[in-house]
Chains A and B, each alone.
Chain A
């Protein structure tokens, strides 16, 4: 079945440093979604990418969807302590398959 791989599993940065998480699918995706889960919380939808090569920005967050629609990335510029959490990518047409997530911790 479809698999979504995400790296790195963990990332610790100093506040103000940039952060990137990468997502790769074993199959071509119709769309990819990104979620953030704070410690103890539930996943919250961030964005959905649909088009090949698409790039979307949300303030300090930049999301990319690969040309082949099999990979994606989330980049955070100048991290802040509020960015702490686990970031998941997820893909799939009828049902979402989640990546393993990247847990971001920040040293203030």
Chain B
């Protein structure tokens, strides 16, 4: 089946630094990928829709300058958390639509900002 590879699986960074998270579709092309954020014991909140070759579409309340999304190819989308602060600590997950099989999610990235 379809596989979405997400790296890193966890990262600890200092406050004020930036962190890049990669999401790759391994055996299919994904013109659109989605980035979610999940706090402990809560649901997935859509942050933005990543579109290959064009600007990402951000959900209301999500700062586009803080969460930079780049979708440079049909198999790679990246999310960069810029100038990270402790309140940005969360579980970030990407997904891509796979026809007939719903959305395939990456394994997630647990970000801790200290």
Contacts and interface: CB of A to CB of B under 8 A. Distances in A.
A43 B43 contact: no
A14 B7 CA distance: 37
Contacts of A103: 41
A88 B93 CA distance: 15
B44 interface: yes
A85 to B, nearest CB: 12
A41 B107 CA distance: 7
B81 to A, nearest CB: 18
A33 B41 contact: no
Nearest to A48: B102
A104 to B, nearest CB: 13
Nearest to B93: A42
Given A42-B93, A42-B108, A96 B42 contact: no
Given A35-B102, A42-B93, A96 B43 contact: no
Interface string A38-72: 00011111111000000000000000000000000
A95 B105 CA distance: 14
A45 B106 contact: no
Contacts of B101: 45
A21 to B, nearest CB: 13
A45 B43 contact: no
Interface of B: 34, 41-46, 49, 93, 95, 100-108
Q: Shortest 4 CB-CB distances between A and B: which pairs?
A: A45-B102, A42-B105, A98-B44, A42-B108
